[in-house]
Amino acid sequence: MKYLILAIFVVACASPYRLFAATVAITMDNPNTYSWPLYSVDERDQEIRQALKRASIKIGIFAAGFEVDSTEGKLLLGNWDADGHIIGNHTYSHKSYNSSSWSFERYSNDILKNEPIISGFKNFKKYFRFVMLKEGDTADKRDRLRAFFEQHGYRNVPVTIDASDWYIDLRLRQKLEKDPKADLKRYRDYYLAHIWDRAQFYDQLAREVTGREVKHTLLIHHNLLNALFLGDLINMFKAKGWSVVDFESVLNDPVLSVQTTVLPAGESIIWSMAKATGKHENELRYPGENDSYEKPAMDRLGL
């Protein structure tokens, strides 16, 4: 038996594959009622929720008030609530906290302004998602908002795997407006490759920084791209050996409670932790994810 155990250990160490599956939970920002190609608002939303039902997973969805502050928007959130997904706060106005025009006072009031819009749902919880993952460009703004969270019972839910699905979605919609018969598979393939690349990057960085496997939170958005391909995204992770799990089941990972002193504050929490070590400067870019990184590649591909 001891030789069998030793053999398993040797194979595990030599193999590029893990002995244990990586774990990821989906978080989704910006539920909305915008009119976009291919689907009606209700159809697009239903496609996203059906993909989650088929996978039997519950996610955290973070709503910005201005996008759901309507009868239609509240009905949309009501469907997410009825499905058992967790509804969190994403401010009312959806502005970057790093902007010089958004002081602590203005931003914190904007968070409170959003509460009446979303707090009536049974699955609302005081989880917060920073807009654009920007958590303050000065120590004063950063620390005052952290104190505000403590005072008001909020928990900031950071992202471990950041990505630019929102930009791929924008390019897809622009393409469909010009060519309604555009090849959707090319956008699907680019999207899946992009997310997998970012997942590998942040997962490897997390293991370098923490010395262990972490439970991941992936950031994506409530958009046409995910109405079309969320099921494919979930299946991709599973095919790669990852476990896709309920949102709240990962919140006990200590990484998701870390607060660094890096300025500007924000980005993926893994990015911020790596930045704080001072040992990963050659691996990190600022911002961590942005449309400027994807634009050249999508231009080359004609997407």
The pLDDT tens digits of the residues spanning 226-258 come to 999 999 999 999 999 999 999 999 999 999 999
The pLDDT tens digits of the residues spanning 81-99 come to 999 999 999 999 999 999 9
pLDDT for the residue 21: 80
pLDDT for the residue 19: 55
Strand partners, 155: 127
Superfamily of domain 21-301: Glycoside hydrolase/deacetylase (3.20.20.370)
What is the spatial distance between Cα 247 and Cα 62, in angstroms, rounded to a whole number? 12
pTM for this predicted structure = 0.93
The pLDDT tens digits of the residues spanning 145-197 come to 999 999 999 999 999 999 999 999 999 999 999 999 999 999 999 999 999 99
Long-range contacts of 33-41 (CB under 8 A, 24+ apart): 33/67, 33/68, 33/70, 33/72, 33/73, 33/76, 34/67, 36/173, 36/223, 36/224, 37/173, 37/176, 37/177, 37/180, 37/224, 38/176, 38/224, 38/227, 38/228, 39/224, 39/227, 41/72, 41/76
Judge whether residue 18 has pLDDT over 90: no
What type of residue is 224? L
Judge whether residue 10 has pLDDT over 90: no
Judge whether residue 14 has pLDDT over 70: no
pLDDT for the residue 20: 65
The rounded percent of the chain whose pLDDT value lies above 70 is 93
Burial (0-12, 13-18, 19+ Cβ within 10 Å), 194: buried
User: Which pairing describes strands 243-245 and 23-29: parallel, antiparallel, or unpaired?
Assistant: parallel
Instruction: List the domain boundaries for the chain.
Output: 21-301
- The overall average pLDDT reported for the chain is 94
Ramachandran angles phi, psi of 38, nearest 5°: 80, -50
What is the spatial distance between Cα 20 and Cα 8, in angstroms, rounded to a whole number? 13
